[in-house]
A and B are shown apart, each in its own frame.
Chain A
């Protein structure tokens, strides 16, 4: 059972890295996050410099005290995490769109599902490998911030929390994309769905003004962004991890359902 899942996972990895899209996505994500992190770091340093030089030339130490709102949390980690989350939303559907749809379009799903593989094994291997890809993507993009943050003593553990959040968020988006991919044989449709659903679920801000406050509060509970905010602030909350794990589980279950429904057509 485990051996079959591992064999499938190896095959998925081979396919993933045989196509240039994984590398293009990796390049785009690592470059974008690096540049944006650098920008936030530089502007934070400039801000500190402004406050501190005012203290040297102007009215003395008291005015030079940096207000507690100006800190690496508010100026670097939180805005960087917002950017990183958006980039994940942009790049991940490009990876997930092919995972099931390509198999269906090429007919290789028939090969898999008539060779004794259980549908849950197929779904598990595909989801697992995609999460592994997300992990790799984040690990590659974390090298630069991690080195700078640990060298500058700005809170390595804090950065770790941010990346745990990124991983949760990325896996949730990926699982939605995979579920979309499993219901169609067209990669384009899978991509459109994979972009639309997370975008709609993002924070419902576009809807909350037109519905009652109670409904708005409930919508907020299921919105992706309202569960993402504590990670960049350096706190890993059990409830948020459970939420994202729940989405990933549902994505897997939806993929499984699509495989069963295809058999029952």
Chain B
């Protein structure tokens, strides 16, 4: 082999290696660049010299054999490139991640099917190839492109983002932006949940409205304190809801198109007009999410909710099987893990997907307003739990021992009701309207502090979605890795390390020495 190309190769090798070694400091250095350029030049010079020195093949048979071999090589290249191109169109893949991280959940698929039935422009997922998480997200985005006929993936570069996405594209962390026509929607951390949420927002014909009742000591929607609901408001907006605070007008009706009204634990009484207004709203097929907390006394609970079939008696649920997770372990911090399995609000929750509720009021059922109404208790404390009737004492940490004579029970902490109203649909038994109410005996589980703890978020979103008649999207949860702690002890870890990561190479090396010794002998 001629010297020049060999020297050129070495220079390229050094150039590339020095580039990789220092690229984080400053892209291409003069040293790397010079080596690369000189290396390429040397190889070219060497190649030209080789070509000029080529004296042709010796004879017709040689020429035939050589040309045939080169033609086969060229055909091989062409075939491989063709096969690669064909294969790159295929989306066949095997997802071996623990939680099938890159395989779309049924909910996302259902949404895609729904999108397929819609008319209108397709949704584009604008994908920034040079973003930080590009490789991880590419797999996920491809899964959408594969499963959703209405979703296209568009590769964009950081230098020239597409028109609609330009304003949204801000940092290197931006990996995907969803666009439909001119409307674009940013996607935060590009997980399946966030991408599907963005698709939901873009696909909605009209934006459902969620109103928060205010003026009676409810939890503050704008508060960013631990107990505030700013996180909840942001979550609902992210899920495509229009979120507003609402003072009940004294006489008029509620604004039209209130899809869900949330009463976040009113502490004071409502005016009689307000109660009447809410009754009218529900009778007209309204949807209400009522949160409460131990010790709250308002006619909202004792009057309105009782009338609609929920009895929120005084008391606080005490449970031995409570959470050790908060900074002060207390039997008041419930780990709710018993759920009604067929109710849409709790269908996705189970013993393994618990909800953390600190200080919870029991939610029991009273008389149904009408025979056709359906009331159901949906979440329970454990069988070892009981209800301490003296709230003040219990909250102060006294009287939390279970009285021995009490029979075992599972105090309910949440319930749902559905109420067919309005006129009969001609020819059927069903009614035109249906009011729905969800009552949960705790307000803190949805606070900024705990919204992301365990599966609190799921309970809340399930409730809002069911109330907004959006059952299809219930239980679209993030597929995130369960953060697995390596359960091996330090001693075990080190022992494995010694016996498998050191003893094995040692054995190989000894074998090598034996081979060398045999060769010498």
Interface positions of A (Cβ within 8 A of B): 17-20, 22-24, 26-28, 30-31, 34-35, 37-38, 41-42, 44-45, 48, 51-52, 55-56, 59-62, 64-66, 68-74, 140, 143-144, 147-148, 151-155, 157-158, 160-161, 184, 186, 189, 192-193, 195-196, 199-200, 202, 205-206, 209-210, 213, 221, 229-230, 233-239, 242-243, 246-247, 249-250, 253-254, 256-257, 260-261, 263-265
B10 touches A192 (CB 8 A): yes
Q: Is A236 a contact of B94 with CB atoms below 8 Å? A: yes
- Is B487 in contact with A153, judged by CB distance below 8 angstroms? yes
A155: chain B residues within 8 A (beta carbon): 96-98
B519 lies within 8 A of A19 (CB): yes
In the complex with contacts A23-B515, A233-B102, A238-B92, A206-B28 CB distance below 8 A = yes
Taking the nearest CB of chain B, how far is it from the CB of A160, in angstroms?
6
Q: In the complex, what residues of B have CB within 8 A of residue A65's CB?
A: 452-453
- The prevalent SS among residues of B at the interface is helix
Q: Does B58 contact A (CB under 8 A)?
A: yes
The CA-CA distance from A44 to B493 in the complex, in Å, is 13
Q: Which residues of A contact B77 (CB under 8 A)?
A: 250
**Residues of B near any A CB (own CB < 8 A):** 1, 6, 9-10, 12-13, 15-17, 19-20, 23, 27-28, 32, 36, 57-58, 61-63, 65-66, 68-70, 72-73, 76-77, 80-81, 83-84, 87-88, 90, 92-98, 101-102, 135-136, 138-139, 157, 159, 189, 191, 323, 325-327, 356, 449-450, 452-453, 478, 480-481, 483-488, 492-493, 496-497, 500-502, 504-506, 508-509, 511-513, 515-516, 518-519
Cβ-defined contact, B16 with A235, below 8 A = no
Extra 12 A-B pairs, beta carbons < 8 Å, given A144-B501, A250-B80, A253-B72: A30-B504, A34-B501, A52-B485, A61-B325, A61-B326, A157-B97, A158-B98, A236-B96, A239-B92, A242-B84, A247-B80, A250-B76
By a CB distance below 8 angstroms, the chain A residues around B504 are 30, 34, 140, 143-144
Q: Is there contact, CB below 8 Å, between A71 and B481?
A: yes
List 5 tightest A-B contacts by C-beta distance, closest first.
A23-B512, A34-B501, A71-B481, A234-B97, A260-B69
Chain A nearest CB, measured from B26 CB (Å): 12
Interface centre among A34, A61, A193, A250 (most CB of B within 10 A): A61
In the complex, the number of residue pairs spanning A and B with C-beta atoms less than 8 Å apart equals: 258
Q: Are A205 and B69 in contact (CB under 8 A)?
A: no
| B80 and A257 within 8 A (CB) | no
Partner pick for B449 among A45, A60, A161, A250, CB 8 A cutoff: A60
Flag if A26 contacts B505 (CB, 8 Å).
yes
Residues of B within 8 A of A69 (CB): 189
Query: Are A257 and B84 within 8 A (Cβ)?
Result: no
Q: Give the CA-CA distance A196 to B193 in the complex, in Å.
A: 43
Contact B96 A235 (CB under 8 A): yes
Contact B63 A257 (CB under 8 A): no
Please name the residue on chain B nearest to A24 by beta carbon: B512
Looking at A27, A68, A264, which has the most chain B CB atoms within 10 Å of its CB? A264
In contact, B511 and A23 (Cβ under 8 angstroms) = yes
| Nearest chain A CB to B414 CB, angstrom units | 20
Within the complex, what minimum Cβ distance (angstroms) separates B432 from chain A? 43
Residues of B within 8 A of A238 (CB): 87, 90, 92-93
Contact present for A158 and B97 (CB under 8 Å): yes
